[in-house]
Amino acid sequence: MNINQQVTYLMRGVEYGDPAMYEAMKKELRERLIEAERLGRPLRVYCGYDPRTTDLHIGHTVTMRKLRQFQELGHQVVFVIGTYTALIGDPSDKDKLRPQLTPEEAKINAETYAEQAFRILDREKTEIRYNAEWLSELTFKDLIHLASNFTLQQFLTRENFRNRWENEEAIYFHELFYAIMQGYDAYVLEADVQVGGTDQMFNIMTAARKIMTFYHAKPNIGIILPILPGTDGELKMSKSLGNHIPLNTTPEDMFGKVMSVPDSAMPSYARLVTRWTVDKIEAFERAMASGEVHPRDAKMELAEEITAAFFDEEKAKQARTYFINLFQKGDMPEDIPSFKPQGEPILLEVLVDSGLVNSKSQARRLIEQNGVKIDGEVATDPYLLLAPGAVVQVGKRHFIRIVE
């Protein structure tokens, strides 16, 4: 690709919410690519991932695929595992305080991140870094200098902080450090480009660029991408919300979870998670909008493509067959896991204790929505006593068999 083609390729799918910002970043990217070509050096492109849990999900891979595009063009990708920023927790998309992790928890969660990321990234072209390396060395004097680049008003104009302020909910001072720490990451890594979701606009476009300028470094270019909704089709994908599709799962589970996504969210999944070309995505969206293809069939195609992207074509086809046999033909899986209740086998308690649901309130809601079945029949009583051998089904994919 020539420079103009590279710029078009790398800016595909970015979202700033401001045409002027788009043009400014496009111009800076072109200039940086020309400079890199002249000097014969690759750009340094980074994205950070906080190990809040042990698993990555397909929402994380939206930014990873953009990193992979930079790798395809010969640039150096730095995959940052936020072992220090995770001690605070990013408040960017939260309307309440995140629980703080201990260093030990962050370290344990981080252990599998790199291997999961290599399902998307080129191992040979990826540099793995942990931001505890440099953030843990900052002195109080350093923090004073870094913080002097920002006003309190800048933080309070951010929607999540503003909402908490207006609702008279607590905003803790340490939460303000997160953007500063992420900006310092960009400076230490000498990043040319930082990739992130739209919830990272302030951290990337304001904090990082201010701090790099403060240290007389050329500010990084922000490549901002849309946020993938979870399986509910509305909220950001998150393990804590239970609407995520993990990378560490089976092809059958991934296929089934994509099939549970609302029809309205299919275009987002097509644009952000598939390997399809722009022409293919546009044809897919047109076919759905016109009614040319049934939503169920479109979702089958989408689920097979996404599953193949993380496993392979053959496993994706097998997952599709499994789904059809299990859910469209009404088959029940052969290998249903057993569950032995600790007390009385009350449906509500079994649903929570077995891990089929996260809480009693979720269990009641699912029962009210006819989302729970016992031996194939819809359950209506949350306090139903279950007999040994009964098969409990939640949604379309999750089963347990009660044993004594």
Q: Give yes or no for residue 168 having a pLDDT over 80.
A: yes
Distance, CA of 176 to CA of 5 (rounded, Å): 39
Domains of the chain: 3-225 (3.40.50.620), 251-328 (1.10.240), 338-402 (3.10.290.10)
Residue 155 banded pLDDT, cuts 50, 70, 90: confident
Distance, CA of 327 to CA of 233 (rounded, Å): 21
pLDDT of the residue at 307: 96
pLDDT of the residue at 209: 95
Of the ranges 27-31, 124-128, 245-249, 308-312, the best mean pLDDT one: 27-31
Share of the chain above pLDDT 70, in %: 95
Q: Give yes or no for residue 248 having a pLDDT over 90.
A: no
Q: What's the whole-number mean pLDDT along residues 281-297?
A: 91
pLDDT of the residue at 332: 67
178-220 pLDDT, tens digit per residue, is 899 999 999 999 999 999 999 899 999 999 999 999 999 999 9
pLDDT of the residue at 91: 63
140-151 pLDDT, tens digit per residue, is 999 999 999 998
Task: Give the least confident one: 208-212, 349-353, 368-372.
Answer: 368-372
55-92 pLDDT, tens digit per residue, is 789 999 999 999 999 999 999 999 999 888 888 765 65
pLDDT of the residue at 48: 93
pLDDT of the residue at 327: 67
Q: Give yes or no for residue 36 having a pLDDT over 70.
A: yes
pLDDT of the residue at 115: 83
Mean pLDDT taken over the chain: 88
pLDDT of the residue at 401: 87
pLDDT of the residue at 55: 79
